[in-house]
Structure 1
Amino acid sequence: MWQIFKNLWFRDTHEDALFINDTAVRIRAGILLFIPLYMGLTLWSAIFGGHWIVDGDSLHDTLDTDFDGNIIYSAHVIRRTWDYTIQTWVLLYGLFELLAGMFVWSSRLSPLILLSSLLAARQPKVWRPLAPKRFAWALGSVFITLCLIFFNPDTFADWVNKLAGHQLLPETQQYLSYWIPTLVFVCIGFMWLEAVLGFCVGCKIHWLLVKLHILKEHCETCNNLDWEAIAHRKAERDAQNASARTTQPTPRTDP
């Protein structure tokens, strides 16, 4: 138990190349999955929910019908507005969790890292390098940041305009594309793959960028391969196969 509080999900906090327990990572991903699910329900309500609030006391029958025979009512209605304060705080916490896992000192500030490490204590430990996970969490942080700006365009525009000293972004209209909220559903897919199947999409993208020489940070697991030992074992197998071929009896041929 003391080792969990000391190292959290790290194999050794003093290693040059940090390794983390992938079992704990998957547990935390399963918990954090509730954040994009909640945001997905918010978007569903905002897009497909009712856009008008009807005052029931003002609903009156006009004693008239339309061409299809439907009764026409008159009512006092109010255009519905959405307050994303709670969703903003939820997204900020998700952003904090992703950024906190990137370093040893910041991981100690995360309650979910401690909780997932405790839940994974009795499970088999699977050590994975931290570098690809950092890339995956950085990608998720970009998604969350874009969603935060989308839900709070006026606040972000006010900050940018004050820093710039003049108006760069409009403060009274949405200036981001409406496809950005769909990143919530991308996050749901990515986190489900991580939590349920153990498939880290961000890690695969990291591997591809290293393969294309865009990133120079290679996977530590690959760097630790002993190529001399592999070559030695291959030479031994080749020698055994050659010896087996020479010791096989030659087929007899009749004159």
Structure 2
Amino acid sequence: MSWFKNTWFRDPDENILFINDTAVRIRAGMMLVIPLFMALTLFDVLYTSPWIVNETTIEDTYEITEASQIIYSGEMVKRSYDFSVQTLLLFYGLFELIAGMFVWTARFSPSIQLASFLARNKPPVWKPLTPKRFAWGLGIALASFCLVFFNPDVFAGAINTLFSSELLPTTYNYIPYQIPVTLIWVCLALMWFEAVLGFCLGCKIHSLLVWMGVITEPCYACNNIDWDAIKRKHEAA
């Protein structure tokens, strides 16, 4: 496990935890699969036909509409959607986001293990874990919202049972589809920025909140400290 310790956390016993941003970016690239799959699912549900037509049963009725369009008859079945795979994948994404926030859970994350292994021969770039926790917290909120969108009846039933009232409908999806579609593309863009450009918007928001005094803690990411250079200086002395 020494490679795991040395390529993800600089030192798991530090009071202020630092993680290898090289491994973080590799992991973000791997996790892009989840929002991409969700985007394809939403595209299929919202922008393709909900009907399955049996082409062998299509017949010309020899009638036309007022717009001079030929009317055909045939058998068709309305599609039913099962989001079990999407739900399981979102739960896995939530697990990965939560696992990366703490030392004792990070060891159980397959993506962290793989990313750390792939980054083992690359120069580490140490960055504080706290801003990443904030960014991953935003990811948890987005994933949770998508879970509700894919399972509106389950969520509505839980809320109605909790408050003993019919606050939410259980017969239709009460969340406008424009919201998850927008959030999915936002999530894809943010993860692409992280993986390809090394730009973490959540970290920037965290730094801004620290600067504004909303979050009362030092912004270690803003200090731009080269910890490896300091370590080499002490070793040379």
TM over 0.5: yes
Partner residue of 2:233? none
Deviations 1:189-243 (A, max 9, x none): 0000000000000000101111111111222255697xxxxxxxxxxxxxxxxxx
Partner residue of 1:186? 186
The alpha-carbon deviation at position 172 of structure 1 amounts to 1.4
Task: Write out aligned runs for 1:48-59 (5 A).
Answer: 48-59=47-58
Q: Is contact 2:149-2:175 (8 Å) kept?
A: yes
2:170 is equivalent to residue 154 of structure 1: no
Q: Give the length in aligned residue pairs.
A: 224
User: Partners in 2 of 1:126 and 1:5 — Cα distance?
Assistant: 15
Q: In percent, how many aligned pairs have the same letter?
A: 54
Partner residue of 1:43? 42
TM-score, normalised to structure 1, is 0.82
Partner residue of 1:242? none
TM-score, normalised to structure 2, is 0.88
Per the alignment, in what secondary structure is the counterpart of residue 42 of structure 1? helix
Deviations 1:104-129 (A, max 9, x none): 01111101100000000001100000
Q: Is contact 1:88-1:151 (8 Å) kept?
A: yes
Partner residue of 1:96? 95
Per the alignment, in what secondary structure is the counterpart of residue 206 of structure 2? helix
Deviations 1:119-152 (A, max 9, x none): 0000110000000000000001000000100110
Per the alignment, in what secondary structure is the counterpart of residue 63 of structure 2? strand
221 and 46 in structure 1: CA distance in 2 versus 1, 3 angstrom threshold: closer
Task: Write out aligned runs for 1:26-175 (5 A).
Answer: 26-67=25-66, 69-175=68-174
Q: Is contact 2:7-2:23 (8 Å) kept?
A: no
Gaps of 5+ in 2: 226-237
Partner residue of 1:205? 205
Per the alignment, in what secondary structure is the counterpart of residue 220 of structure 1? coil
Per the alignment, in what secondary structure is the counterpart of residue 207 of structure 2? helix
**Aligned Cα root-mean-square deviation (Å):** 1.8
